[in-house]
Structure 1
Amino acid sequence: MDIKVSVIVPVYNVENYLKQAISSVINQTLKEIEIICVNDGSTDSSKAILDEYQKSDDRIIVVNKSNKGYGAACNTGLKLARGKYVAILESDDFIDAEMYENLYSLAQSYDADMVKSAFYEFSDGIGSSKINWSEQYTMPDKVFKLEEYPQFLYFHPSIWSCIYKTEFLRKNKITFKEVKGAGWVDNPFQVQTLCLAEKICYTDTPFYNYRLTNPSSSSNIVNISNPFDRSDEVHAFLEKKQIRNHGILANLYKREIGYINKVLSGVSDNLFDFACKKITDMIARMDSDIIFTHSQLNDYEKYVYKSCKSYNGIGSLMRQIQENCESIKIVSC
Structure 2
Amino acid sequence: MSQPKVSIVIPTYNVEQYLRECLDSVCRQTLKDIEIICVNDGSTDGSLAIINEYAEKDDRIVVLDGPNGGYGKGMNRGMARATGEYVGIVEPDDYVALAMYEDLYAVASENHLDFVKADFYRFTRAENGDMKLAYNHLDKTDTWYNRVFDPSHEPEALRFIMNTWSGIYRRGFLEEHGIRHHETPGASFQDNGFWIQTFVYAKRAMIIDRPYYRNRRDNPNSSVKDTGKVYCMNVEYDYIEDMLRKDPELWNRFKYLFWVKRYGNYTFTMSRIDPSVYPAYCERFRDDFARARDLGELDEAAFSARQWSDLQTLFSNPSAFGRKVRHRRKVKELYRNSVDRARKFTGRTLR
State whether TM-score is above 0.5: yes
2:264 corresponds to which residue? 258
- Alignment equivalent of 2:305, drawn from 289, 299, 304: 299
Match of 2:136 in 1: 131
Of 185, 201, 209, the residue aligned with 2:206 is 201
CA–CA separation in structure 1 for the residues paired with 2:190 and 2:219: 18
| 2:310 counterpart SS class | helix
Letter in 1 for 2:325: I
Q: Tell me if 1:176 matches 2:177.
A: no
Q: 1:99 to 1:321 in 2, by over 3 A?
A: same
Equivalent residue number for residue 101 of structure 1: 102
| 1:147 CA displacement | 5.3
* Distance in 2, Cα, partners of 1:16 & 1:253: 38
> Which residue does the alignment assign to 2:287?
281
Q: Deviations over 1:44-74 (max 9, x none)?
A: 1111111110111000111110001111111
In the aligned structure 2, how far is the partner of 1:177 from the partner of 1:260?
Answer: 18
Distance 1:13 1:262, change over 3 A: same
> Aligned equivalents of 1:320 and 1:303: distance in 2?
11
Q: CA RMSD in A?
A: 2.2
- Indicate yes or no: 2:236 matched with 1:230: yes
Q: Partners in 2 of 1:219 and 1:263 — Cα distance?
A: 9
SS at structure 2 position matched to 1:160? coil
State the alpha-carbon separation in 1 of the partners of residues 138 and 181 from structure 2.
Answer: 26
Q: Which residue of 2 aligns with 1:309?
A: 315
Deviates further, 172-181 or 252-261: 252-261
- Match for 2:233: what amino acid? P
Cα pair distance change 1:261/1:53, threshold 3 Å: same
Deviation at 1:319, TM superposition (A): 1.2
1:307 CA drift (Å): 1.7
Q: Report how far residue 230 of structure 1 moved.
A: 0.9
Match of 2:329 in 1: 325
Query: How many equivalent pairs are there?
Result: 324
* Paired amino acid for 2:69: K
- Asked whether the equivalents of residues 292 and 302 of structure 1 are also in contact (C-alpha less than 8 Å), the reply is no
Alignment of 1:39-54 (within 5 A): 39-54=40-55
The amino acid across from 2:247 in the alignment is: K
Are residues 293 and 274 of structure 1, via their aligned partners in 2, closer, same or farther at CA, if it must alter by over 3 Å? closer
5+ residue gaps, structure 1, are: 329-333
Helix, strand or coil at the partner of 2:65: strand
When residues 97 and 178 of structure 1 are mapped into structure 2, their CA distance, relative to the original with a 3 A threshold, is same
Query: Shift of the alpha carbon at 1:153?
Result: 2.0
Aligned residue number for residue 85 of structure 2: 84
State the distance in 2 between where 1:268 and 1:185 align.
21
Q: Partner letter of residue 313 of structure 2?
A: S
Q: Which runs of 5+ in 2 are unaligned?
A: 334-351
- Deviation, 1:293, is 3.9
Query: Are 1:9 and 2:15 counterparts?
Result: no
Following TM superposition, by how much is the alpha carbon of 1:281 offset from its aligned partner in structure 2, in angstroms?
2.9
Paired residue secondary structure (1:286): helix
1:264–1:314 CA distance, 2 compared to 1 (3 A) = farther
**Helix, strand or coil: the match of 1:324?**
helix
1:331 corresponding residue in structure 2: none
| Farther-moved stretch of structure 1 (121-130 vs 17-26) | 121-130
Deviation at 1:182, TM superposition (A): 0.9
Amino acid at match of 1:117: A
2:300 and 2:308 in contact (8 A); partners too = no
When you count helix as a share of all residues, which structure comes out higher?
2
1:209 CA displacement: 0.5
Q: Give 3-state SS (helix, strand or coil) of 1:138's partner.
A: coil
